[in-house]
Amino acid sequence: MSANQDGANLLEVRGLTKVFGTLTACDHIDLDVAKGEIHALLGENGAGKSTLVKMLFGTLEPNSGEILWNGQAVTITDPGFAKKLGIGMVFQHFSLFEALTAAENIALSLEDGSPISAIAAKARALSYSYGLPLDPQSLVGDLSVGERQRIEIIRCLLQTPQLIILDEPTSVLTPQEADKLFETLERLRSEGKSILYISHRLEEVKRICDRATVLRHGKVVGHCNPRAETAASLARMMVGNDVQAVVRAPAEGIETAQPLLEIRALSRKPATPFSIPLKNINLTVRAGEVIGIAGVAGNGQGEFFESVSGEVPQQDAASVRIRGKDAGGLGITGRRLMGAAFVPEERLGHGAAPRMKLSENLLLSRHATDGKVFVGAGGMVKSDAIYAASQRIIEAMDVRKSAPDPEAAALSGGNLQKFIVGRELDRRPDVMVVNQPTWGVDAGAAAHIRQTLIGLARSGSAVLVISQDLDELFEISDAIAVMHNGELSKPLPIAEATFEKIGLLMGGAEPGHAEHTLETA
């Protein structure tokens, strides 16, 4: 099945199967990883990538199938055993203590009990030798996301693994930081280490990976050489059919259109030691346009969203204006009543209550704006009305689900996101603010969500999209601004914006001083 059958395989997986209830998350997966290769694991969300990797790292037990390590059958019972074998893992979501230093965090995961100072020295030496400079004495809370990822990588490398599993490593990096990471990965490959690289970013897979295994609905649909494929052909393998490209008609007459969302000198003090202060943010979103806000995670986007949505109201009522009226002193309900709608980054626990039905989650954001329709006399909820409306949204957004009105937590991330976006679109809001509209959403659903956001803008609404996905922002925005360390740059019209310009702004460069920063980065 694979090109590499000469016995030099570090890891071989044969018929690995994992069943959750009625769902077969991994269905007879075969996979070979040779020594000294970067092997891509491609697939949409829910294709079974994470389940497979968890079985390799010992956090899930397979139902059947076998794992061969250097030709020997092994049962990986727990992560400790995986580490002993020589499997290291860098998770997408970091597990670091913000109040501890980098060295202390590393020491926690090593079980040899060596003194912190020794670990720090080792970590520092290793980090510089791999071109990932890291100060072991720095507090994690003070570090950027890219630097935190370095800690995770160094922590993994200190255990001298043979196989390193990286789960979506570039999703939190600027383009420049990602380049650095690729250099490190190539260096590791040249030392004979193997890397299992999980991603859905096809361009970077084409760039650094030697072979790829593509998963769809829990099954292997193909092994290929990504360099011989195009991004479109890889996408076709992942999704099973062609992903409809997002169409964005040029916006016309925007300059004179009515400003629907205005942010004037918005500042906010940090609420906790680890949150980012907002500094004098100014932005205007006019009827008919989509403005994108780019930025590396943790540069104040969350704080900005809370301030604009009114979850945290402002002292100065004029700092947020909706449809020409001051809204800064109002809470989120007041702002919704003025015609604004919001989609937060976290789906479960913020945009939706996990243990509640979809129809109840509809009520979550619309109990006030659609009070007459959904809530009857004396505060009684009209369950028929919310059920009917939620079914309407499910149909309009093509939400796939297993029961007529399931709990939010029972939906896959992409389907829940479609429901949450659809819940707000269903109101035809004049102002729509979305944080990470397609985070973790599969390609087909993401294209659908992006297209509906453009459609909403073109029908006369103002749309503000906060995203870490630059491809997405370039696809849908009429102008892109960059948030860095709580400050927002001037929006760049899409015609002038390039990946490099935006990437430099994401790294903290002043527009115009780009050259200087490039050297020090």
Partner 1 sequence: MMRLELIKRPQRSMLFSALSPFIAFMLTIVAGAILFALLGVNPLKAFEIYFIEPVSQVWQLHELAIKAAPLILIGVGLSVCYRANIWNIGAEGQFILGGIVGSIIPVLFPQFEGPLVLPLMLLFGMVGGAAYAAIPALLKTRFNTNEILTSLMLVYVAQLFLDWLVRGPWRDPKGFNFPQTIQFNDSAILPELMPASGRANWGFVFALVAAVLVWILMSRMLKGFEVRVLGSSPRAGRFAGFGINRMVFFAFMLSGALAGLAGISEVSGAIGQLQPVISPGYGFTAIIVAFLGRLNPLGIVAAGLVLALTYLGGEAVQSALGISDKVARVFQGMLLFFVLGCDTLIHYRIRLIGFATPKLEAAPKLEEAR
Q: State how far the Cα of 383 lies from the Cα of 376, in Å rounded to an integer.
A: 10
Residue 243 tokens, joined: 């992903």
- Residue 380 as a binder of partner 1 (CB under 8 A): the answer is yes
Q: How far is the CB of 320 from partner 1 (least distance, A)?
A: 16
Among 3, 8, 61, 258, binds partner 1 (CB under 8 A): 61
Q: How far is the CB of 116 from partner 1 (least distance, A)?
A: 29
Please name which of 163, 164, 161, 162 lies closest in space to residue 149, comparing C-alpha atoms: 164
The one segment of 56-64, 164-172, 454-462, 493-501 that binds partner 1 by CB under 8 A: 56-64
- Residue 59 as a binder of partner 1 (CB under 8 A): the answer is yes
Kindly tell me which of 122 and 350 has the beta carbon lying closer to partner 1: 350
Q: What type of residue sits at position 161?
A: P
- Residue 363 as a binder of partner 1 (CB under 8 A): the answer is yes
Kindly tell me which of 136 and 310 has the beta carbon lying closer to partner 1: 310
Among 149, 309, 390, 435, binds partner 1 (CB under 8 A): 309
Show contacts with partner 1 in window 154-183 (CB under 8 A): none
Among 68, 116, 221, 381, binds partner 1 (CB under 8 A): 381
- Residue 419 as a binder of partner 1 (CB under 8 A): the answer is no
Q: How far is the CB of 121 from partner 1 (least distance, A)?
A: 34
Among 169, 295, 302, 344, binds partner 1 (CB under 8 A): 344
State the virtual CA torsion across 186, 187, 193, 199 in degrees, nearest 10. -30
Asked if 75 contacts 444 with a C-beta cutoff of 8 angstroms, the reply is no
Q: How far is the CB of 364 from partner 1 (least distance, A)?
A: 5
- Residue 95 as a binder of partner 1 (CB under 8 A): the answer is no
Question: Which residue in the block uniquely carries the two structure tokens 């979550």?
Answer: 364
Burial of residue 166 (CB within 10 Å: 0-12, 13-18, 19+) is buried
Among 13, 31, 60, 482, binds partner 1 (CB under 8 A): 60
Q: State how far the Cα of 298 lies from the Cα of 21, in Å rounded to an integer.
A: 37
**Pairing between strand 340-343 and 431-435?**
parallel
Please name which of 374, 357, 358, 348 lies closest in space to residue 427, comparing C-alpha atoms: 374
Asked if 474 contacts 494 with a C-beta cutoff of 8 angstroms, the reply is yes
- Residue 19 as a binder of partner 1 (CB under 8 A): the answer is yes
DSSP code of residue 489: P
- Residue 413 as a binder of partner 1 (CB under 8 A): the answer is no
Residue 20 tokens, joined: 């959750």
The one segment of 18-26, 28-36, 166-174, 465-473 that binds partner 1 by CB under 8 A: 18-26
Q: State how far the Cα of 38 lies from the Cα of 211, in Å rounded to an integer.
A: 7
**Binding characters for partner 1, 321-340, by CB under 8 A (x = yes):** ----------xxx--x----
Asked if 463 contacts 432 with a C-beta cutoff of 8 angstroms, the reply is yes
Q: What are phi and psi of 153, to 5 degrees?
A: -70, -45
Residue 48 tokens, joined: 């079974």
Q: State how far the Cα of 225 lies from the Cα of 489, in Å rounded to an integer.
A: 40
Among 135, 311, 405, 487, binds partner 1 (CB under 8 A): 311
- Rounded to whole angstroms, what are the CA distances from 48 to 158, 213, 232, 237, 269? 29, 12, 21, 15, 42
The one segment of 247-255, 360-368, 388-396, 439-447 that binds partner 1 by CB under 8 A: 360-368
**What per-residue string of b and e applies to 85-111 under the rule 16 or more CB within 10 Å gives b?**
bbbbbbbeeeebeeeebbbbbbbeeee
Kindly tell me which of 138 and 383 has the beta carbon lying closer to partner 1: 383
The one segment of 155-163, 231-239, 359-367, 487-495 that binds partner 1 by CB under 8 A: 359-367
Which residues, 6+ apart, have CB-to-CB distance to 388 below 8 Å? none
Q: What are phi and psi of 33, to 5 degrees?
A: -120, 120
Q: How far is the CB of 381 from partner 1 (least distance, A)?
A: 6
Size of the site for partner 1 (CB under 8 A): 43
The one segment of 54-62, 157-165, 247-255, 503-511 that binds partner 1 by CB under 8 A: 54-62
Kindly tell me which of 368 and 521 has the beta carbon lying closer to partner 1: 368
Among 24, 36, 74, 275, binds partner 1 (CB under 8 A): 74
Among 365, 412, 417, 467, binds partner 1 (CB under 8 A): 365
Show contacts with partner 1 in window 182-221 (CB under 8 A): none
Please name which of 468, 342, 361, 339 lies closest in space to residue 406, comparing C-alpha atoms: 361
Kindly tell me which of 257 and 353 has the beta carbon lying closer to partner 1: 353
- Residue 350 as a binder of partner 1 (CB under 8 A): the answer is yes
Q: 53: helix, coil or strand? A: helix
Residues in the site for partner 1, rule: CB under 8 A? 19-21, 59-61, 63-66, 73-75, 309, 311, 331-333, 336, 342, 344, 346, 349-356, 360, 363-365, 367-368, 375, 378-381, 383, 410
